[in-house]
Amino acid sequence: MENYTFLNKISIFAFAILSLISCEPHEDKLELNFETQAIGQVFSIADYCNEDFDSVYILHPYSNTEKTSFKNLKMSNSLRGVCNANVSFDSFSTLLFISNGYVKAYSEIKNTAARFTTREMPNDLNLFPIKQQFILDNERCVHLYDE
């Protein structure tokens, strides 16, 4: 009986070590509430998150994830898979929050709250400073704010 208990403990310990070794970096999913953003009011993505991020990468629906700018982002394989799947839906955009060159968090923003796909934000313009200013129009489309 003692041998069985000892082998059981070793098996659990080995499993725990292997799990730790094979872990990928983990990105947090942020729930951002753009529904409360007033139309015509200037805002930045930094207004919606309490973290210290350097920049935000916006994946529009049907974005090309084969582009160099996306491929060069450092993130876990699981999040890369989520992003590749998300671009095939037109009901939301995915925001990737970057700190020190690594994607640390992401958020899925429904187009009914804020639509990040406009003429002013073409699919080849994805990376913005976290304090970039935007403005929301009457149709809840997000535009770059230019003073």
Going from N- to C-terminal start, the domains of the chain cover 28-144
In the chain, which residues have pLDDT < 50?
Answer: 13-24
Write down the pLDDT at residue 18.
Answer: 38
Query: Under the phi-then-psi rule, with left for phi > 0, alpha for psi from -120 to 50, and beta for the rest, what region is 100?
Result: left
What pTM was computed for the model?
Answer: 0.78
- One-letter amino acid for residue 97 of the chain: F
Q: Which pLDDT does position 49 carry in this prediction?
A: 87
